[in-house]
Structure 1
Amino acid sequence: MFGLFGGLHGGGTFEANYRCYPVSFLDKLDAENGDKIFLPPSALDRLASLQIEFPMLFKLENRKAGRSTHCGVLEFVAEEGMVYMPYWMMQNLLLEEGDIVKIQSANLVKGSYVKLQPHTQDFLDITNPKAVLETTLRGYSCLTVGDCICLHYNNKRYYIDIVEAKPQNAISVIETDCEVDFAPPLDYVEPNRDEGKQAAAAEPMAADVADGAAEPAAPSEPEEPKFIPFVGGGRRLDGKTVAGNGPSTSASGPPTSSGPVRAAAGPSGSGSTPATASTSAAVAKRPAGKVMFGGGNRLLEKQMAAQQDKAAPTAPAPKKEEKKDEAEAPKFAAFTGKGRSLKD
């Protein structure tokens, strides 16, 4: 064994303790895009004497925190007793500058499957995340479950957790075909189904409100009274009431001149009515020597018709008979007007 910072054990296993520092101390900022460390030249001599197989892989362990990971080696240019590693590896191991880290040679199988989980959803916004990931993993020698690797792309850092690996928790990714799967990002929140239903129900309501269909109906105003013609009870010209509440359709009214005219003009016979006889008597009393054109005095005929209406029954005549009487009335009445004598 070679003191505090280095040692050689039998059985072909390399094991040593070094003080760790970030690669920025060597001005090797490109080494941050991978998992390779810088060891002192003495470590290369010991590894050569042990005939360690290539690629050289190591296990890093922080005994105080109980954290461990795996890595490769990039160069043997570090100062004796020191090791330089990417800062993200120091964060995974909970190491500070100058802390002691145990380094041990390891043999890892080639990986066939790895599952990654981004910390933020913006990693999924990359145009071609598969190509970016393949380019980034070229700087890595191995992957260990529980590690958080850092991916640099377009001047932005993306942190990705190693969630699962097959066939072991620590695998080699050098010259191997490895299937890569992605888990949902840590900040991903699944949409609530109830909220989705409420939003879907609110969209038609919003559309109805926009169209004015969902607005509350205005209180109905009282309608203005409309004019209804011919209401009330019917009345006859002689003052008698008409049966029924509807408008008067009675045939009563001023008598037409066709009846009296025919009675005056027709010959007297057995079928003559009293009104006809009185009309003839009135004509006979007129002075002799005058020829009267017409059916007699119209005023006298109206008075006689009024007397006949009073003597007639009060029941109104049926509508059909009224229409029949109106149809029988001649449109042209001859010998009407005032009488004139030949002397005038």
Structure 2
Amino acid sequence: MFHFLGGQYHGRFEATYRAFPLAFIDKQSAEYGDKVILPPSALDRLASLHIEYPMLFKVVNNSTGRSTHCSVLEFVAQEGHVYLPRWMMANLLLTEGQPVSFANVSLPKGTYVKLQPVTSDFLDISNPKAVLERTLRSYSCLTVGDCFVVHYNNKDYEIEVRSCKPGEAISIIETDCQVDFEAPKDYKEPTYTPAAAAAAPPAAAAGAGASNGAAAAGAAGGSAAAAAEPEEEEGPKFVPFVGTGRRLDGKPASSSSGPPAASAAAAAAAARAAAAAGAGSSSGSGGGGSAVTGGAKPGTFVSSGNRLADKLALDKLKAQGKAPAPPPAEEEKPDEGLAFKPFEGKGRSLKG
């Protein structure tokens, strides 16, 4: 049931109704707004009072003391009933059929409002300002503490009213209102992890410093032993200039023969290696240009270096009696019967 307090002399409307959601009268389009549906008797009473338009009401749940503000959409409800949007019933903590009080009020025009999305997925909207402006066209007033609903792209977003100016409740009809936003309630600042420090922590560094002396001594002895050990054999590598040579005269090519410059360069390189190592005996290089200096791996290029420096090093070794042995002379091989011999044969004259 409902009752009226006051009258035309006081110009105030007060009534109590039983609250039901808008779904009971198939008014789903009014869910996204702050407009309620009152019975026709309320219109008759309001018409007889001197009230300000548009009609705005304060709605109070007397059992919990929670309150909000709204406007009216139609006067077609069943007598004694009022139909409210779901979000408004949730803010007032109302259940179906619970009594709720209505009273007409006059609210100041708002100049400032601060809003806060309840969930951070509201930030995924491409143009939240335009969506919010379109949504607020369905609202007549805002109250601090209310959570109204923004419907966009088949999804509902809850927005809480954090503060209003010039009062706790404002009218947003035909007014220029500045809107500010707070970060969503479940928003978390991104954490930036710094790059891992190259240096060890102070405690670990102190412990490591205590063992550095013994480790350094062991490392010095170990490095000398490791230098003396032969290098492990590696897998097959690329070997350049592999193949057999053929001579124009048909004789078999000698693998030991090589150009004199290459033999001299190899001998000089061997001399430099012997001088650096301080070897007592001369290190011979057999097979001419195919000798490999000490420390070089098979299949790698060996640079002959500066020829003047090679000559000086070779002269110094000769003066010390440590000159490398000269490469052996190439042995002449007997001619083979079937070898190719160019320009051989008998000449004949055209005169006979």
Pick closer, same or farther for the CA change 1:230–1:47 going to 2, 3 Å.
Answer: closer
Superposition map of 1:185-204 within 5 A: 185-192=184-191, 196=192, 199-202=193-196
| 1:203 Cα deviation from its structure 2 partner | 9.8
Which runs of 5 or more residues in structure 1 are unaligned?
A: 206-217, 233-322, 324-344
Q: State the partner residue of 2:159.
A: 160
Q: Are 1:109 and 2:108 matched, yes or no? A: yes
Q: Are 1:57 and 2:56 matched, yes or no? A: yes
How far apart in 2 are the matches of 1:172 and 1:158?
22
SS in 2 for 1:200: coil
Q: State the partner residue of 2:29.
A: 30
Task: Show CA shifts across 1:247-298 (max 9, x none).
Answer: xxxxxxxxxxxxxxxxxxxxxxxxxxxxxxxxxxxxxxxxxxxxxxxxxxxx
| 1:229 Cα deviation from its structure 2 partner | 3.8
Q: Are 1:5 and 2:11 matched, yes or no? A: no
How far apart in 2 are the matches of 1:84 and 1:110?
26
% identical aligned pairs: 60
SS in 2 for 1:180: strand
Superposition map of 1:330-341 within 5 A: none
| 1:190 Cα deviation from its structure 2 partner | 2.3
| 1:121 Cα deviation from its structure 2 partner | 1.2
TM-score (norm 1): 0.58
Task: Show CA shifts across 1:17-67 (max 9, x none).
Answer: 000100001100010010000000000010000022210000000010110
Q: Give yes or no for contact 1:35–1:71 (8 Å, CA) kept in 2.
A: yes
Q: State the partner residue of 2:176.
A: 177
How far apart in 2 are the matches of 1:61 and 1:160?
21
How far apart in 1 are the matches of 2:95 and 2:106?
27
Superposition map of 1:247-326 within 5 A: none
Q: State the partner residue of 1:133.
A: 132
How far apart in 1 are the matches of 2:22 and 2:68?
17
SS in 2 for 1:33: coil
Pick closer, same or farther for the CA change 1:27–1:203 going to 2, 3 Å.
Answer: farther
How far apart in 1 are the matches of 2:106 and 2:162?
21
Specify the code of the residue in structure 1 equivalent to 2:12.
T
Q: State the partner residue of 1:91.
A: 90
SS in 2 for 1:44: helix
| 1:231 Cα deviation from its structure 2 partner | 4.2
Q: Are 1:223 and 2:227 matched, yes or no? A: yes
Specify the code of the residue in structure 1 equivalent to 2:114.
K
How far apart in 2 are the matches of 1:231 and 1:106?
116
Q: Which one has a bigger Cα radius of gyration?
A: 1
SS in 2 for 1:25: helix
How far apart in 1 are the matches of 2:106 and 2:198?
63
Q: State the partner residue of 1:263.
A: none
SS in 2 for 1:63: coil
Specify the code of the residue in structure 1 equivalent to 2:179.
V
Q: Are 1:80 and 2:79 matched, yes or no? A: yes
Specify the code of the residue in structure 1 equivalent to 2:128.
P
Across the two proteins, how many residue pairs are aligned to each other? 213
Specify the code of the residue in structure 1 equivalent to 2:4.
G
Q: Give yes or no for contact 1:8–1:46 (8 Å, CA) kept in 2.
A: no
Q: Give yes or no for contact 1:6–1:81 (8 Å, CA) kept in 2.
A: no
| 1:125 Cα deviation from its structure 2 partner | 1.4
| 1:222 Cα deviation from its structure 2 partner | 0.6
Q: State the partner residue of 2:47.
A: 48
| 1:224 Cα deviation from its structure 2 partner | 2.5
How far apart in 2 are the matches of 1:200 and 1:223?
41
How far apart in 1 are the matches of 2:279 and 2:182?
87
| 1:120 Cα deviation from its structure 2 partner | 1.2
Q: State the partner residue of 2:120.
A: 121
Q: State the partner residue of 2:203.
A: none
How far apart in 2 are the matches of 1:166 and 1:102?
25
Specify the code of the residue in structure 2 equivalent to 1:179.
Q
How far apart in 1 are the matches of 2:72 and 2:198?
63
SS in 1 for 2:23: helix
How far apart in 2 are the matches of 1:60 and 1:69?
5
| 1:230 Cα deviation from its structure 2 partner | 4.4
TM-score (norm 2): 0.57
How far apart in 1 are the matches of 2:18 and 2:197?
63
Q: State the partner residue of 1:211.
A: none
Q: Give yes or no for contact 1:36–1:72 (8 Å, CA) kept in 2.
A: yes
Specify the code of the residue in structure 2 equivalent to 1:91.
A
| 1:202 Cα deviation from its structure 2 partner | 3.5
Q: State the partner residue of 2:141.
A: 142
Q: CA RMSD in A?
A: 2.4
Superposition map of 1:199-218 within 5 A: 199-202=193-196
Task: Show CA shifts across 1:169-222 (max 9, x none).
Answer: 100011111110000100111245xxx2xx2314999xxxxxxxxxxxx99671
Q: Give yes or no for contact 1:148–1:160 (8 Å, CA) kept in 2.
A: yes
| 1:88 Cα deviation from its structure 2 partner | 0.7
Q: Give yes or no for contact 1:12–1:50 (8 Å, CA) kept in 2.
A: yes
Specify the code of the residue in structure 1 equivalent to 2:195.
A
Specify the code of the residue in structure 1 equivalent to 2:38.
L
Pick closer, same or farther for the CA change 1:178–1:223 going to 2, 3 Å.
Answer: same
